[in-house]
Amino acid sequence: MSDERLILQEPAVIRVTNAAKIELKANTVWNHIGQIDQGDVYRTCDQVVVVNSFDVFEAAIVVSESNLVGFYLPIEKSFVEAKQPTALQFTTE
């Protein structure tokens, strides 16, 4: 965990298998909260992020080399892979 804070410059729409699409809003601030094998984990207080399938899970985003590669479910301690990596336009705060 670090103090790194990123600001998302452009909105993004992410698709996950068997779940509703996930929209990330522009100008949201993302705090680094940890790291997993797939990448760095960030969460925001500026919008709700959920993986909405049969059940609904609050989620954090997982970023690797400026690409969103999936979502981390903190309560379940599991990773949900995005259908394809999506480039995110971040600036540091």
Partner 1 sequence: MLKKKLLGIIGAISLFAMTGCASGPTFSEHAETMQPVSAENGRIYIYRVATLGAAVQPKVRLNDVEVGKAAPKGFFYVDRPAGNYEVAASTEAERNLSMTLEAGEEKYVRLEMKMGLFAGHVKPVLVDAEVGREEIQKTKYIGAVDGT
Minimum distance, C-beta of residue 63 to partner 1, in the bound complex (Å)? 20
Contact 24, 49 (CB under 8 A): yes
Q: In angstroms, what is the minimal distance from the CB of 25 to partner 1?
A: 9
| 13 binding partner 1? (CB under 8 A) | no
CB of 2 to partner 1, least distance (A): 19
52 binds partner 1 (CB under 8 A): yes
Please report whether residue 50 would count as binding partner 1 according to CB under 8 A.
yes
Q: Which candidate, 81, 86, 17, 76, places its Cα nearest to that of 52?
A: 17
57 binds partner 1 (CB under 8 A): yes
Please give the torsion angle defined by the CA atoms of residues 14, 38, 26 and 8, in that order, rounded to the nearest 10 degrees.
-160
Number of Cα atoms under 13 Å in the Cβ half of residue 1: 3
43, 60 in Cβ contact below 8 A?
Answer: yes
55 lies in the binding site for partner 1 (CB under 8 A): yes
Residue 76 binds partner 1 (CB under 8 A):
yes
